[in-house]
Amino acid sequence: MASILPQRALRTSSAIALATLLALLILTPAAQAVVRDSASFGYTVTRFDYHASGQLSGGLFGAVCTPSDALWEGEVTTDDSQLAPLGKVGDASLKIHRHGTSGEVEAKTSIESNFTGFHRETTACKEESESAHTESNCAGGVETEMTALVDISGGVGTRVRIAWNFFEDNGDRLVPNTFTCGEPFKFSDSSAGVTCSKGSTANLAKLTARAVKLPFFCLYTATAPPPGTNYTKFGSTVTAKGALFLKRTKMH
């Protein structure tokens, strides 16, 4: 028995050492990923789908009938333009580091916006009641450029936060502000009040795939008249939906 026990102990010790070595070999890539300072990814934005609709109504009324009392309403619809670029519309980057995740996307596309509107104005009053008015129907269209700037951030978890910002030509808005029907149809010039219920978070594993889709659905509402106006009635609602399509081009 005394001569057998050392051999059994030697075999047991060798088995443990072999198992430990195999475990180290298997875990080496994962271990390196843990201690590595960061992992970086680069992307090309291959497509930018964008569709938006904005409704606006306004009014100017006094306590009694006065000429220039007015009411107007209209709608702007925006879709991808036939002039939208093909192949590459932007770039993106993502970095995963010890303390979390950060990244950004920038994409541009041409959009076509169409407008229909109505304007009614009081031109004469009699005994505090309207006696004459004019009505106008308006329509128009414009080609502009839409830019999406996307900020990606997160902690060390598996989900990240996505913040969307849209810039139409020189304005920070979802639809153009270039239309007039008796009065200017001015939508918000700020993304501060825009909420995106779809696309506000994403799974980190999906963001590092070869092909990535970032969908969005954003909403903006306003009841305060634009600065510098004396409107007594105002309301606007804009919705925007679409997606950015990314192709991973580098990883290190």
- Distance CA(218)–CA(69), nearest Å, equals 34
- Distance CA(169)–CA(172), nearest Å, equals 8
Closest CA to 206 of 86, 43, 49, 51: 43
Per-residue model confidence (pLDDT) at position 124: 95
Share of the chain above pLDDT 70, in %: 83
Per-residue model confidence (pLDDT) at position 134: 96
Per the DSSP assignment, residues forming a β-bridge with 9 are none
Which pLDDT tens digit goes with each residue over 159-202? 999 999 898 886 778 999 889 999 999 886 665 667 887 888 99
Share of the chain above pLDDT 90, in %: 58
- Distance CA(177)–CA(97), nearest Å, equals 41
Work out the number of other CB atoms within 10 angstroms of the CB of residue 61.
15
Per-residue model confidence (pLDDT) at position 194: 79
Which pLDDT tens digit goes with each residue over 70-101? 999 999 999 998 877 778 999 999 999 888 99
Asked whether the beta carbons of 37 and 211 are under 8 A apart, the reply is no
Q: What is the pTM of this model?
A: 0.80
